[in-house]
Amino acid sequence: MKIVIVGGGWAGCAAAVRAAKMGAETVLLERTDMLLGTGLVGGIMRNNGRYTAEEEMIAMGGGELFCLIDQHCRHRNVSFPGHEHASIYDVGEMPGAVERYLKSLNVEVRFQARVSKVEKKENCLMAVELMDGTKIFGDAFVDATGTAGPMQNCGKYGNGCAMCVLRCPSFGGRVSLTGLCGVKETCGQKEDGTVGAMSGSCKLIKDSLSKELVETLNREGVAMTPIPPELIENHLSIKSCQQYARPEFAKNLILLDTGHVKLMTPYFNLQRLHQIPGLSNARYEDPYAGGRGNSMRFFEMAPRDDTLRVEGMENLFCAGEKSGLLVGHTEAIVTGTLAGFNAVRLVKKQKLLILPESTAVGDAISFVREQMQTPEGIRKRYTFSGSTLFQRMKEKGVYTTNIVAIKERVAQAGMKNIFAK
């Protein structure tokens, strides 16, 4: 039994963990030379409803990566506008920790392994072919290739290649496994109907900030600096992370300590940034052209059911942004875990799992799929941490930080340790 996962972001890593722990020979193919994808420059966990979702997954027996992340957090219980009890992991430590964990599970991780072709038999995927001609056969596959870029999309729909951590010029742009299989995919839209959305944050080199700002960030994990009115740049409408599209994020520079400094705006003109107190020497770490733009996302999402199997394919599953308009590391790990789990169950000829809608994670997977079929829904973004989905969690009464209550709800749904069985 062999499971092949394409894409080594948080979703692909979660799928690999699950498949390996279920006894499958597991191969993880990553286009670049590092794991975690946008998680290399992310870091925000457990804010708002993500706390609930993560604890649900732990109660379901699928929380290994969440527990690993908890071990590498620089700050816990951080609050910033509209967000409570956030944890912030160290972006320097996290990739190596995940790679070592995968290898401890005997996952075969292949770097610089960009898929270029597929071999199919009717609606069954038999093998993927890499750029160097290597063929990798499998019994089931997971598409965790994401939706960001490649360069032509950032040029056509954004402000050009901003030289982000995805590094398309060096490793080649993202290739959709679902697309290679001939399945028609969907693009997300902004409120005005234009295609795609821009990544919602930049990263600054911490040592380029003032001593006072650095001390605040090291101590508190967050710093908020008012922007003089004449320097305000309002990019809220183009952000992929709509949970951070609040007025406070336009009127202030909100900075988070991830090891680098996470600047919660898609981009900000560098000369204007230098006029704000404490940032006169500020320099971008990611993207390098953070004064001009950022990566574009939410192109080519796979049609799928609530087991995360791709429509029209027998043995292909999807996870992360590939599975819909889901924003964030928590959301990627949730869908990756389910995709890897169901890939193994398919090969074992077992019934595929649909997570109950009485759980926050099960409801999210179903709700996002349904919403993406509507003209209004395709223009939104969904995350446990804010906007439409978090509001839904509160309205349904599933949002809570009470771990005992979360465990009880999971048990009542018959999902206790389901991923560990």
Q: Answer yes or no: is pLDDT of 17 > 90.
A: yes
Closest by Cα among 237, 255, 233, 256 to 245: 237
Q: What is the pLDDT of residue 241?
A: 56
Task: Tell me 394's DSSP state.
Answer: H
**Residue 1, burial from CB neighbour count under 10 angstroms (0-12, 13-18, 19+):** middle
pLDDT, tens only, 166-197: 999 999 999 999 999 999 999 999 888 889 99
CA dihedral 202, 145, 322, 53 (to 10 degrees): -70
Q: pLDDT tens digit string along 77-95? A: 999 999 999 999 999 999 9
Please determine, for residue 20, whether its predicted confidence score (pLDDT) is greater than 90. Answer: yes
Q: What is the pLDDT of residue 409?
A: 98
Average pLDDT, the chain: 95
Task: Name the pLDDT band for 233 (thresholds 50, 70, 90).
Answer: confident
pLDDT score recorded for residue 291: 95
pLDDT digits (tens, 9 = 90+) for 203-217: 999 999 999 999 999
Lowest-confidence pick of 109-113, 242-246, 311-315, 402-406: 242-246
Burial status of residue 184 (CB atoms within 10 A of its CB: 0-12, 13-18, 19 or more): exposed
Question: What separation in angstroms does the CA of 164 have from each of 10, 41, 62, 212?
Answer: 17, 10, 31, 28
Task: Please state which of the ranges 129-143, 219-233, 299-313 shows the lowest mean pLDDT.
Answer: 219-233
Distance in angstroms (rounded) separating the CA atoms of residues 412 and 151: 47
Query: Model pTM?
Result: 0.97
Rounded CA separation 89/43 (Å): 5
Distance CA 323, CA 336 (A): 9
Can you give the pLDDT at residue 149?
85
Q: Which pLDDT belongs to residue 387?
A: 86
Contacts of 232 (CB under 8 A, 6+ apart): 250, 251
When pLDDT is averaged across residues 42-58 and rounded to a whole number, the result is 97
pLDDT greater than 70 at residue 18: yes
Residue 321 has a pLDDT of: 97
